[in-house]
Amino acid sequence: MRLLALFLFFSFSLFAQELPPITNFDPGIYNAGNQNWMLTQADNNHIYIANNLGLLSFNGEHWNLHRVPNASAVRSVLAKDKRIYTGSYMDFGYWDTDQKGELNYTSLKNLSEEKILDGEQFWHIEALEEYIIFQSLRRLYSYNRETEEINTINAGNIISNLFKVNNKLYYQVAEDGLYTIDNGRIEQVISNAKIKDKPIVGLFPFEENKMLAVTRDDGLFTIENSNWEPFQFKDYPLNESIFTAKLLEDQTLVLGSIGNGLHVYDLATSQNYQLLQPVINNNTVLSILEDKAGNIWGGLDNGLVLINRKSPFRLFTDISGKVGTVYCSHQFGDNLYLGTNQGLYLKIGTSNTYELIPGTSGQVWSINEIKGKLYAGHDRGIFAIEGNSATHISDGPGVWEIREFKNGLLQGHYDGISFWEEGNVENDPVYLANFDLSSRNLVVQNDSTFWVGHDHKGVFKLKINAEVNEVLDLENYSVSYDGGMGLKVFQFNGAIYYSTEDEIYKYEPKTDTFSLENELNNLIQEQRISGISHVLPDNTWWGFGEDNLLYVTRDAFQDRLSAKSAAIPLEYRSIAKGFENISLIGESEYLVGSNVGYTIFSTPLDLPSMEQLNINKVSTAALEEEFKSHKLDLNQLELPNSVNNINFEFSIPAYSKLAKPVYSYRIKGFSTGWSTWQRNGSATFENLPAGDYVFEVRGKYNNRISEIATYAFTIALPWYATTLAIVVYILLFLLLIFILHKIYTGYYRKQRERLLEQNKKKLEIRQLESQQEIITLQNQKLESDVASKNRELAASTMNIIKKNEFLTQLKNKLTEANKKEDIQEVISIINKNIAEKDNWKLFKEAFDNADKDFLQSVKKEHPNLTSNDLKLCAYLRLNLSSKEIAPLLNISVRSVEIKRYRLRKKMNLEHDQGLVEYILKF
């Protein structure tokens, strides 16, 4: 149990450290081997790593693995001038960057007169003047960059390491001692009798003429001339095995251990901290590098770690979850208090441990210092805090905020506002009548007026009586916004404001309104994630932007407000919307709470300078083909029309955990404008039309914008629009004109021949026309005969009509005679003379002669017609009236009309269609 308690305490103490930003890179991120044996930084600030799968490079955006010819592990690496030197299994050499930005390897092993030993590996590389020295376990190989000669130094025993100190090379030979190479001579510095077989893992210049030696298992020693003396250092981990060490420029000693993580010691102040899993990926550290920005890189047995040691930010990450989400904080003397969802926690002085103050478990919303005393707003009321203890002085539902008011405390509750008077032993606050809204946001203007901000109902101004138990006047200022959470009322430079995530409004007493026209609102241009604003005791205003913390101070020299920002990504200050918080914990030192801990920083921010933005790779491809790289130093890349997909890779070699570079780009002549800022360091354009283009990219880092990097390229016109194609088109056009000329010439010749032929035919046609005239005359004579017969038919018809009319009249008169017998005989004779059948027979023969096939045509069109119907049609064909037809049919006129009606029905004629007109059409 004691061991378990000790482990838990140690773990919690570890996680409570306020550490610089730390970034871990596991093998899945950089897509290479797990072990990283040595690191170096080139002149272009790119990082190169000796990885067990090859040479690994990182430019701040992209990782690339470069394999040596035998595909072995790379054990050592050194960037010198424009080359990257590496040592691997039975090979050593260098890498050059070609015009495409790609690395190409050149082996140097064949330049050595001595053959490389079987299984020999190269574990360290150093540069000295024009020499590059490669160290294996048995030899040193010196490569002269000017003469390209290689000389070999055989040590006779195992060479444990190679060091460069003050422009001299040092190496340790097992069971022999420490040697130096000075002006081409090899000299022993310290004998093994003094070193006593202690492996040296680090050797650095130290104090005046001394060197500091870091041994694997026996601590620190100083070397002066030939003296070897122990160096005592407080809290040095003598019980650990140190694999690698680095003394930084500011005399900070970094130790990489085997199994116990990374130790960082300040030799001047003795301050130190240790990094272990899970803060870093692995507890075995194989290599250490200090880059140009002062960052510490650690090559681990499984991955890489980057420590932004000089970052102005310090992070406390509650990995164990013992502290919880930080909703408020307060520095009171040497004590730092954290109010979280789990209670009130205290860290005393430089301690790395947070302790829960007994009795405060639960939600702490606020910590306020009033008249030299400290109070915490809790979901169970108010606690008075003294050191590491807290007294519950006021009951009631949850308290959001506490404000000084007259001789007591004004409390904003979940369901209203109350006043607690100093010396109240009953712990019962007096509630303000007539106001029961949640009061998370209070601003006291004077002894009778205060303001309340409500997330949904807007801003309230309350005027109360002297006894503080009744609202005399309440005015509600409605707020129009869609945020729903995070409205904040605050007092800044003597004025009342309220803020939403979109705007900041200032109260104008003369008009009793809130106005957007104010200096603070005009200054803040960046979009904020909520309306929460904080005015701290140093009279700075703070807001929470999308990518930055925003703050405003008053410029003492120009008496105006000045807006600035601190680049802290949202993931390191994320918390429920409307509960963003920041506190002043020292002179210009601030703490920002989040759901994973907190971030501490000081202003003004000491940020690294802007590194140069570079285009690292340009590649193109045709449709459905792989991308191919191109030279980076061309004045103008010329591409065929089919290769119209182009990709650019670019980066700012900045290695900060919190401030990440973002990029914006465009293609002049194609893009409508600059792209939005984005994290990705690459851009691809597809199906570009033919034309001349210039790709432009710019970066932004710590709110500073870089110079624009450019790359010009041309996509050729399609083959059918080239100059050669146009010449071909002209020649084809001329050929077409020639062919058309030939065609038209032949056509007109044939046309002339055709005209001659036509004239000949015209003569023949005239003869035919004469014959046609004769035929026409004959036809006219025939037509005249037909007309004559028609007239005869009409006359005959009229005679019949007249005859029948006469006989009918006679019949009628005889009918009226007295002697019946005589009369009947006359009538019979008359009936015989006017028999309609005989009349019809005569008429039909004459009608058929005059109008052949009429009756057959009508019968064919209307097969349902009777013979009587056909008779009627024939008479109608002669355009006879009903009165004229009646005697022919020996019926009355009325009966003729009925027959006509029935005939229309049988022929299915429309109402407006004439029967006679229809019959005449046949």
* H, E, C per residue of 160-209: EEEEEECCEEEEEECCCEEEEEECCEEEEEEEHHHHCCCCEEEEEEECCC
State phi, psi for 588 to the nearest 5 degrees: 55, 30
Instruction: Supply the DSSP string of 251-280, one letter for each residue.
Output: SEEEEEESSS-EEEEETTT--EEEE-TTTS
Residue 14 is predicted with a pLDDT of 34
Please report which confidence band the pLDDT of residue 15 belongs to, taking 50, 70 and 90 as the band edges.
very low
Residue 669 is predicted with a pLDDT of 81
Strand intervals (E) in 81-149: 83-88, 91-97, 103-107, 122-128, 131-136, 139-144
Which amino acid type is present at position 25? Answer: F
pLDDT (tens digit, 9 = 90+) per residue, 257-279?
A: 999 999 999 888 888 889 999 89
Residue 405 is predicted with a pLDDT of 87
Residues contacting residue 369 through CB under 8 Å, at least 6 positions apart:
330, 332, 375
Please report which confidence band the pLDDT of residue 427 belongs to, taking 50, 70 and 90 as the band edges.
low
Residue 482 is predicted with a pLDDT of 66
Q: Residue 846 pLDDT > 60, yes or no?
A: no
What's the token pair of residue 416? 């209203």
Residues contacting residue 19 through CB under 8 Å, at least 6 positions apart:
273, 275, 279, 307, 314, 315, 316, 317
Which letter, b or e, does each residue of 616-641 get, where b requires 16 or more Cβ atoms within 10 Å of its Cβ?
bbbbbbeeeeebebbebeeeebebeb
Q: Residue 564 pLDDT > 50, yes or no?
A: yes
Compute the average pLDDT of residues 381-408: 90
Of 652, 754, 757, 745, whose CA–CA distance to 705 is shortest?
652
Lowest-confidence pick of 358-367, 375-384, 420-429: 420-429
Q: pTM value? A: 0.76
Arithmetic mean of pLDDT over the chain? 87
Residue 91 is predicted with a pLDDT of 95
pLDDT (tens digit, 9 = 90+) per residue, 91-150?
A: 999 999 999 999 999 999 999 888 999 999 999 999 999 999 999 999 999 999 999 999
Who wins on pLDDT, 172 or 845?
A: 172
SS3 221: strand
Compute the average pLDDT of residues 871-888: 79
